[in-house]
Amino acid sequence: MEKKKTRKQLYRKKHKKGLGKFLFMLVVLIGVSAIGVVAYHALIPKQELAATGKKKTAETTTEAEEKQVETPAAIKGENVTKPNPRAIEQNDTVPKVEDVAAIEIDKLLQSKSFTGTAYIVKNGNEIFRKGYEANENAPMPLGSMEKSMTAVLLGKAIQEKKLTLQTKLATFYPNAPNANILTLNHLLTMTSGLSDNPKIDVTFLDTQENYLQQHIQSTYAKGQIGVWNYDAANYWLLAGILEKVNNEPFEKQFKTFFEKYKLDFQNYAQTKSSPVRVYNYAMQKEDQRNPAGNDVSFTNEVGTGNMFTSAENLYRYYKKLLTYQFLPKNVTLELLTPYAEGKGYSGGLYTIQPENYHWGRGVIKGFESTASISKDGKNAVILFSDNFEKETRAFTTVNRSIFKYITTGTF
């Protein structure tokens, strides 16, 4: 029994091994088949995707080409919303309106051989700033445009009820010509008939206060009261009056007030040390310019033209003035209202009619500063020239032409 059992076990063992081999081969066969199926499904989509991608690329290229062909015709029509791709590649895009304006303004200034700095604003936005043989941010002399700042300081004294425009000159300078007749409004609008003796020698004086007092003492009656006659004597008197009512040197008042509004004005001494200082020129011969002027030429113009600033800073000043940031509206308008026979001048600015905008100008020792600005402060042309031509007054005309261009579209 023991022997048969052993054979039977051997028989079962033998067949069991055979079955194991069969099952192993079957598993291998099934595994290989599965791998083939997976590989097939993985490979075919990629090939199809690549083919599809090539097809889409070709279609996209064709569409782009069609659009490029269609663009010129579309430009001639209306409602083109997408730029021409070819134009972008060739830097051939249509300039913005502001860019076109800047190009035209630059052409005009160059054609007039303008040298100095220019700053232009249209609809409240800067559209042009450039220096011609000068740094665009260089401090330049205000000349007579400084009289506008003197008027603002007078307005501050009016607001503080220290005086009024009807206050008599005699209140402060009883010995001045016609002092009992003249009011501060006569001085403000330059209808006092007063003038400064051009023969006085101020070259020996050493301080601004001495310059100012010398000018005031040399004042005399030249013209008719109530008739406009431009003369710095009026604003030297106003600067002296402000020193009396505030008990403080004029320049210190000036600096303290405008620094509060983050406006940068410099005196001549500060400008001399500026790394971007611009020298003035006087035309001697064609294409030949020589330096002119000296320290006294600028320093003695207390309240009337001894301060310097950049073109942009001057625009910021005018904008604050005309949007009533310095003074209340009623005080500002009182300062800028011309006398009946005042030729449109008051408070350091002219009112140009019928266009109804403000105009400022200053000339001092080879420099000419001009400003045109709309009454709302949104449009402005500021030109600081270091090459004043007395005979032609060229840049006065240029400034007004540019202002007309930015407000009407034509020179």
- The domain segmentation of the chain, as residue ranges, is 101-408
Interatomic CA distance for residues 135 and 97, integer angstroms: 26
Residue 180 burial (10 A CB sphere; 0-12, 13-18, 19+): exposed
Residue 406 has φ and ψ, to the nearest 5°, of -75, -20
Question: Amino acid identity, residue 204?
Answer: F
Distant-in-sequence, close-in-space partners of 285: CB < 8 Å, separation ≥ 6: none
pLDDT at position 205? 65
**Strand, helix or coil for residue 348:** coil
Distant-in-sequence, close-in-space partners of 106: CB < 8 Å, separation ≥ 6: 128, 130
Name the fold adopted by 101-408. Answer: Beta-lactamase (3.40.710)
pLDDT in tens, the chain (411 residues): 444 444 444 445 544 555 555 555 655 556 545 555 444 444 444 444 344 444 434 334 434 333 333 333 332 333 333 333 333 233 344 445 568 899 999 999 999 999 999 999 999 999 999 999 999 999 999 999 999 999 999 999 999 999 999 999 999 999 999 999 999 999 999 999 999 876 666 666 667 788 888 889 899 999 999 999 999 999 999 999 999 999 999 999 999 999 999 999 999 889 888 899 888 765 444 344 444 455 777 788 899 999 999 999 999 999 999 999 999 999 999 999 998 666 799 999 999 988 899 999 999 888 999 999 999 999 999 999 998 876 566 789 999 999 999 999 988
pLDDT at position 24? 59
pLDDT at position 62? 39
Distant-in-sequence, close-in-space partners of 179: CB < 8 Å, separation ≥ 6: 168, 169, 170, 173
Interatomic CA distance for residues 6 and 28, integer angstroms: 33
